[in-house]
């Protein structure tokens, strides 16, 4: 409501930290009404899935750091495909735990694998960054070899904790929500 409030100042700081994300600030009653915003709120509109995420900045101590973390966590897709364009977003994610599905995107089983992988991603939103690695891309060969996998062992899941490089790998005959959930929970424990 107040463009010069401390919250608005923190919002501007967060905006400066994430130059690749367009930011806007509105105090217009018509705009707030149109989006159903009643309180001071950071609203993230995700183009990828036409979804939005709201962070109420009245209810708790929210600073630029928390706003930045909120945006970084929510700007990514439920499953982000790893490629030269998404590398920076993946590496700059506040989520330190990455689960990679290394698979052949050309496989007739790919659409069903992705449906199940996305369903599992919902269960770990905000905890684990789910990433798709297309094993057909030459640029992804080093990732496959990093996890000491061969093409014959794919599809596979690889979980990686960025700070200490702790990792685990699971070759899969079939991708299922249950197997993904068990694999992630075992690693988290």
Q: What is the pTM of this model?
A: 0.68
Helix axis angle, 64-75 to 6-17, nearest 10° = 50
What pLDDT was estimated at residue 147? 95
What pLDDT was estimated at residue 106? 96
Rg over alpha carbons for the chain, rounded to the nearest Å, is 19
Task: Quick: pLDDT tens for 68-86.
Answer: 888 877 777 789 899 876 7
Whether the per-residue pLDDT at 37 is higher than 90: the answer is no
Rounded to an integer, the average pLDDT of 17-38 is 90
Task: Quick: pLDDT tens for 110-153.
Answer: 999 999 999 999 899 888 999 999 999 999 999 999 999 999 99
Whether the per-residue pLDDT at 48 is higher than 50: the answer is no
Whether the per-residue pLDDT at 5 is higher than 60: the answer is yes
What pLDDT was estimated at residue 59? 60
Q: Which domains does the chain have, with CATH numbers?
A: 6-75 (3.40.30.10), 80-85+88-188 (3.40.30.10)
């Amino acid at each position: 409501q107040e463009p010069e409030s401390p919250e608005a100042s923190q919002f501007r700081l967060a905006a400066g930290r994430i130059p690749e994300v367009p930011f806007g600030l509105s105090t217009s009653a018509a705009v707030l009404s149109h989006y159903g915003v009643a309180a001071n709120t950071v609203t993230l509109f995700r183009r990828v899935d036409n979804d939005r995420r709201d962070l109420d900045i009245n209810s708790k101590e929210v600073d630029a750091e928390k706003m930045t973390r909120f945006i970084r966590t929510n700007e990514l897709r439920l499953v982000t495909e790893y490629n030269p364009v998404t590398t920076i977003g993946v590496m700059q994610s506040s989520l330190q735990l990455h689960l990679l599905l290394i698979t052949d995107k050309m496989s007739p089983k790919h659409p069903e694998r992705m449906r199940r992988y996305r369903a599992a991603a919902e269960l770990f939103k905000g905890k684990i960054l789910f990433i798709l690695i297309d094993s057909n891309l030459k640029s992804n060969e080093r990732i496959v070899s990093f996890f000491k996998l061969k093409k014959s062992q794919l599809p596979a899941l690889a979980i990686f904790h960025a700070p200490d490089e702790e990792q685990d790998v699971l070759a899969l005959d079939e991708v299922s929500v249950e197997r993904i959930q068990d694999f992630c929970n075992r690693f988290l424990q």
